[in-house]
Structure 1
Amino acid sequence: MASRAVVPRDHQQPRGEAVAGNGKQKKIVAAERRNRQALGDIGNLVTIGVDGKPQPQISRPITRGFCAQLLAKAKEAENNKKAVRANVDGALLVTNGAAAGKGPEAEKAAQKKVAVKTKPETVIELSSDTEEVKKEKPINTKKTGEGSSRKKVQTMTSILTSRSKAACGLTDKKPKEQIVDIDAADANNELAVVEYVEDIYKFYKLIESESHIHDYMDSQPEMNEKMRSILVDWLIEVHHKFELMPETLYLTINIIDRFLSVKTVPRRELQLVGISAMLIASKYEEIWAPEVNDFVCISDRAYSDQQIRNMEKAILGRLEWTLTVPTPYVFLVRFIKASIPDQEMEHMVYFYAELGLANYATMMYCSSMLAASSVYAARCALNKSPVWDETLKAYTGFSEAQLLDCAKLLASFHSMAAENKLIKAVYRKYSQPHRSGVAFRPPAKVLLATAAS
């Protein structure tokens, strides 16, 4: 807003010629002069010095808030008689009705009294994470008590740190790893049941605790862990000889363990329990199941067909005909798919899973954890990177830390497989070229080192 030019008192001209001759009129003129001085704008008064010369005026920078106050006072005092002109850029306000004289000196003084437009201050905000510079924002002066909209200023250390990171292409936040949709390729495959597969595995997770087998070896007076390992290793060889489905093997081991956990079995009938369990699993899983006579022959006629049938009835009665259970194989199929494997990777996972079946020490782990640990140990043995990603974590439901103990156990089984006489069949099976010879691969050194420590 510009200051109005005020003509000094000595140069003001009287309003009329007639006022000079009458004393009464002189008094009226003098009173009007006094009134004009009292109502004059503070910013337009000219201070008279000692020598009678006017002192130079100081122009005050006009801000938006101060300009608004002056406008309100001017409108109230002069009752909307004076013209108000608002400048868009700087809110420059000029009023031209204050000067009484119309001489050249008054016009010249009015042109000089123009307020200087001040630039709005700007604040550049720097985020500590990125080097993005936000838009410049003018600082609006607010009335007292309204508070300040200006954000807290970053410290010099945080600003320099953020600039250095941005210059080097570094950020504090790592990009979130994407989860791969492993069922996208099977969208048109009706047998893959993509619409229901997630719900199916959620149900498997819920009920696997119901069929989980706890430690039962103390309840078997004529059995020990080595005898069980010999039986399972022999059944793996029989399963391979009969060329049965993988599901049949895992269900067979599950039936044996569940039956032994509820029924005491003498040592001479342990092999009978094994072949009867495989007969039941074959009828459940296979299209063409082996006959009873095949199991009589494979056991070197140690048991008759009637003994096998009687044991079959005893097992089904004890298990209450419950054969639909989530075995480790159920989870292996899903978890191997989530690991996006090659053929060698797939064979290595099954090798570790069957090592876990043959060893009683893995009984403490549930089926899903044994399957996930087999995938983890196989990826470590084959030096896959990353060993465990967000996709595997999402589909298995286990973190890397949760699988570490079981994976160490499986790696130790692998390191002793060549010399262990109890699991010879598993070692020979996965030493074949059509199974990528994964048994010859060295076990994961990382897992063995942590297990030793």
Structure 2
Amino acid sequence: MASRHALQEQQNRGEAVMKQKVAVPVAGQNKSRQALGDIGNMVTLRGKQLPAVTRPVTRSFCAQLLANAQKDAAEKKKQNADNNRMMVPKKKAAVKPKAQPVPDDATIIEISPDTVEKQKPKASSNKKPQGSLTSTLTARSKAACGLNYKPKAKNIIDIDAEDVNNELAVVEYVEDIYKFYKSVEDETKVHDYIHSQPEINDKMRAILIDWLIEVHNKFELQNETLYLTINIIDRFLAAETVARRELQCVGMSAMLIASKYEEIWAPEVNDLVQISDRAYEPRHVLVMEKRILGRLEWNLTVPTPYMFLVRFIKAAAAVPPETAASVLQMENMVYFYAELGVMNYEIIVRFSPSIVAAAAVYAARATLNKSPLWHETLELHTGFTESQVVDCAKRMLVFHLVAVTDDKRKVIYRKYSKDLRGGVALYQPAKYLLAAALKS
């Protein structure tokens, strides 16, 4: 009996133990689920509880949450700093430093504690208008490279002062442009070619140029077109032998090329054929045009005397200040001498385009009795002294004298004898220069 009761007691005791063993994992499982739920739904950052999310937490998502929280904290810190900056702090009483014992052999330097910061003067409201960024950078570059073309001298006039606000005058670049023209004009300068032409001489060339000036005037073309036409003719004749019967065709094709380059509306081929009294057919002009362009390698952007004339006339009219009527008179006289110069083979071969332009200005001022004849402003912008241009100017005065009696080449003389051109060809050339030219 005793043994039966002991067995029953052990059985009851084993069931209780089994119940405890079964209950432990269930309780542990519930606790684990609760912990996982806390991890998935609530995230804390330095004691701050973040809102619950409904998606599983990954490393990238947790990093995103941390980044957002740090961004919010930084913005809040910045806002607090701005608020504190707006508040005016109270002035604290200055604390007088305690005196320190000074050694006997030390040098005493007194420093005043009452140093007051000097107030900066207020900017004046009447500021000078500043130039453009381009003009400022250009001026700095020229100063750094030593390329200041306008030295400060009392006798030199700034001829571009009135065109500062004119964008078409390109005041910032105009001096660099003309410096480039002068540096490359020798590359396209015509050498002596008449001796290499078996059927053409300088008189035939002069007759051709005289006729082309009449055609140019008939079609009312730009001055740039005339000077480029003459340049194309000379460069082509210097590079290739031309028969006498083709010379007029060369002139017509050269004017057609120059018109296409310079004019808005170029004359038609039939118009050129018509004005030449049908000496050629249109196909002859077009074939010659192709031949010229191929020989010149399509190089048409070259400095002609006209490019320099515009700048030099502007400089000549600056000293003394000329009236509009006197400037127009001098301009017509300069163009008259320039056309006489380019018509004559001797001047074209011997002198560069810039010297031809400068000599035309010198001869015009001499004929019109301008004083001073050659001043520092002209010398600065032309780059030549009076002694360098006087030789070419004397030759132009001789051609002026000859043009009065030359029946075969009177187009230029008639052109500038009309009132439309101021009748400048009717003036007597400067006697003292003409006499010196005839003696030499």
Bin of the TM-score, shorter chain as denominator length: 0.5 to 0.7
Offset at 1:420? 1.2
| Structure 2 residue corresponding to 1:239, chosen from 209, 216, 232 | 216
Contact 1:296 1:303 in 2 (8 A): yes
Distance across 1 between alignment mates of 2:186 and 2:208:
25
Offset at 1:177? 4.9
Report the equivalent of 2:403.
Answer: 417
| Structure 2 residue corresponding to 1:345, chosen from 314, 320, 330 | 330
Report the equivalent of 2:260.
Answer: 283
**Cα displacement string for residues 372-418 of structure 1 (whole angstroms, at most 9, x for unaligned residues):** 00000000000000000000000000000001110100000111111
For residue 395 of structure 1, what is the amino acid of its counterpart? H
Offset at 1:200? 0.3
Structure 1 residue runs of 4 or more that deviate by more than 3 Å after TM superposition: none
- Check if 1:387 corresponds to 2:364: no
Give 3-state SS (helix, strand or coil) of 2:280's partner. coil
Report the equivalent of 1:361.
Answer: 346
Give 3-state SS (helix, strand or coil) of 1:254's partner. helix
Residue ranges of structure 1 left out of the alignment (5+ in a row): 1-175
Distance across 2 between alignment mates of 1:280 and 1:343:
30
Report the equivalent of 1:204.
Answer: 181
Distance across 2 between alignment mates of 1:366 and 1:232:
18
Give 3-state SS (helix, strand or coil) of 2:411's partner. helix
User: What pairs with 1:433-448 in structure 2 (closer than 5 Å)?
Assistant: 433-448=419-434
Distance across 2 between alignment mates of 1:442 and 1:213:
31
For residue 394 of structure 2, what is the amino acid of its counterpart? K
Structure (1/2) with the larger helix percentage? 2
Distance across 1 between alignment mates of 2:437 and 2:228:
30
Distance across 1 between alignment mates of 2:158 and 2:367:
25
Contact 1:229 1:358 in 2 (8 A): yes
Offset at 1:178? 1.5
Distance across 1 between alignment mates of 2:361 and 2:408:
23
Offset at 1:423? 2.2
Distance across 2 between alignment mates of 1:348 and 1:384:
12
Distance across 1 between alignment mates of 2:196 and 2:408:
22
Report the equivalent of 1:34.
Answer: none
Offset at 1:275? 0.3
**Cα displacement string for residues 151-190 of structure 1 (whole angstroms, at most 9, x for unaligned residues):** xxxxxxxxxxxxxxxxxxxxxxxxx652111111111111
User: What pairs with 1:309-328 in structure 2 (closer than 5 Å)?
Assistant: 309-328=286-305
* Two-structure CA RMSD over aligned residues (Å): 1.2
Distance across 1 between alignment mates of 2:222 and 2:344:
21
Give 3-state SS (helix, strand or coil) of 2:408's partner. helix
What is the TM-score of this pair, normalised by structure 2?
A: 0.63
Contact 1:226 1:422 in 2 (8 A): no
Report the equivalent of 2:312.
Answer: 335
What is the TM-score of this pair, normalised by structure 1?
A: 0.61
- Check if 1:450 corresponds to 2:436: yes
Report the equivalent of 1:401.
Answer: 387
User: What pairs with 1:229-308 in structure 2 (closer than 5 Å)?
Assistant: 229-308=206-285
Distance across 2 between alignment mates of 1:344 and 1:423:
23
Give 3-state SS (helix, strand or coil) of 1:373's partner. helix
Offset at 1:421? 2.3
| Percent identical residues | 66
Offset at 1:422? 3.5
**Cα displacement string for residues 11-32 of structure 1 (whole angstroms, at most 9, x for unaligned residues):** xxxxxxxxxxxxxxxxxxxxxx
Give aligned pairs, total: 279
- Check if 1:371 corresponds to 2:357: yes
Distance across 2 between alignment mates of 1:187 and 1:197:
11
Give 3-state SS (helix, strand or coil) of 1:314's partner. helix
Offset at 1:452? 2.5
Contact 1:272 1:303 in 2 (8 A): yes
Give 3-state SS (helix, strand or coil) of 1:324's partner. coil
Distance across 1 between alignment mates of 2:212 and 2:394:
25
